[in-house]
């Protein structure tokens, strides 16, 4: 998957054993979530047990990186010194399981062109310590089904 150049400044997550798969998966070009093999459910944020069936032993699984914009905002207020507006914050729904949502930034498009239900795909921004921030950009394949798409199909 493509990567994008670094922005001048970005607040970074504290990496822990529980979230490492998510924040570093981009090094292999993969967007990863914990997956419950017992009930085929993606779990986010990371949990010690599956919240659906309470099984333990969840393991990271890569998904296709394709998603849809559930909602968004164009931020104009400078909240974080060095992280300059305007920028688009969105909540995207992962293609494999729509109730898995990520807050993210949309990149590679005019903020005025962003719309709800817009198909997007993940793109990683590499930072220090192996951290890869998952951002999303317009998906040139549009909303068509991708037969090579990975992950489960527990679209509920």
Partner 1 sequence: MPIGERAAVLSGIGQSKVGRRLGVDPLALTLDACIGAIEDAGLSRDDIDGLSTYPGGMIAGAPGFTGAGIPEVQDALRLELDWFCGGAELPGQLGSVVNACAAVAAGLARHVLCFRTVWESTAQGGGSRRGIGVSSGGGGGFRASGFMQWSLPFGAASAANWIAMFARRHFHEFGTTREQLAWIAINARRNAARNPGAIYREPMSVDDYLAARLISTPFGLYDCDVPVDGCTAVIVSAAETARDLRQPPPRFEAVGTALRGRPSWDQFDDLTTMALRDAARMMWERTDLRPADVDVAELYDGFSFLAMAWLEALGFCGRGEGGPFVEGGARIAIDGEIPLNTQGGQLSAGRLHGYGFLHEAVVQLRGQGGERQVPGDPRVAVAAAGGGPLASSLLLVAD
Residues found near partner 1 in the complex (CB under 8 A): 9-16, 19, 44-45, 70-83, 85, 87, 89-91, 99, 101-105, 116, 133
Q: Among Zn ion, partner 1, none, what binds residue 38 when CB lies within 5 to 8 Å by partner kind?
A: Zn ion
Q: What angle do CA 92, 124, 136 make, to 5 degrees?
A: 25
In the complex, minimum distance from the CB of residue 41 to Zn ion, in angstroms, rounded to a whole number: 5
Collect all residues with Cβ–Cβ distance below 8 Å to 24 and sequence separation of at least 6. 15, 130, 131, 132
CB of 3 or CB of 19, closer to partner 1: 19
Element spanning 70, H or E? strand 66-75
CB of 3 or CB of 10, closer to partner 1: 10
Q: Among partner 1, Zn ion, none, what binds residue 103 when CB lies within 5 to 8 Å by partner kind?
A: partner 1
Pick one of 27, 53, 89, 116: the residue that binds Zn ion (CB under 5 A). 53
Pick the closest to residue 21 from 50, 41, 37, 44 (CA basis): 44
* DSSP per residue, 121-146: EEEEEE-GGG-EEEEEEE-TTTT---
Tokens coding 127 = 């930072």
Which parts of 110-129 interact with Zn ion (CB under 5 A)?
Answer: none
Q: Among partner 1, Zn ion, none, what binds residue 99 when CB lies within 5 to 8 Å by partner kind?
A: partner 1
Pick one of 36, 88, 94, 133: the residue that binds Zn ion (CB under 5 A). 36
């Amino acid at each position: 998957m493509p990567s994008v150049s670094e922005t001048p400044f970005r607040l970074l997550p504290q990496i822990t054993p529980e979230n490492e798969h998510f924040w570093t998966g981009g090094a292999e070009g993969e967007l990863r979530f914990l997956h419950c093999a017992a009930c085929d459910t993606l779990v986010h944020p990371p949990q010690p047990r599956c919240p659906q069936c309470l099984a333990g032993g969840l393991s990271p699984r890569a998904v296709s990186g394709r998603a849809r914009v559930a909602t968004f905002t164009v931020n104009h207020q400078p909240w974080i010194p060095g992280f300059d507006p305007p920028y688009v914050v969105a909540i995207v729904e992962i293609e494999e399981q729509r109730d898995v949502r990520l807050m993210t930034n949309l990149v590679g498009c005019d903020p005025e062109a962003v719309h709800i239900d817009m198909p997007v795909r993940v793109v990683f921004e590499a930072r220090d310590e192996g951290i890869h921030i998952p951002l999303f950009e317009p998906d040139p394949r549009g909303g068509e089904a991708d037969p090579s798409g990975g992950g489960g199909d527990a679209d509920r």
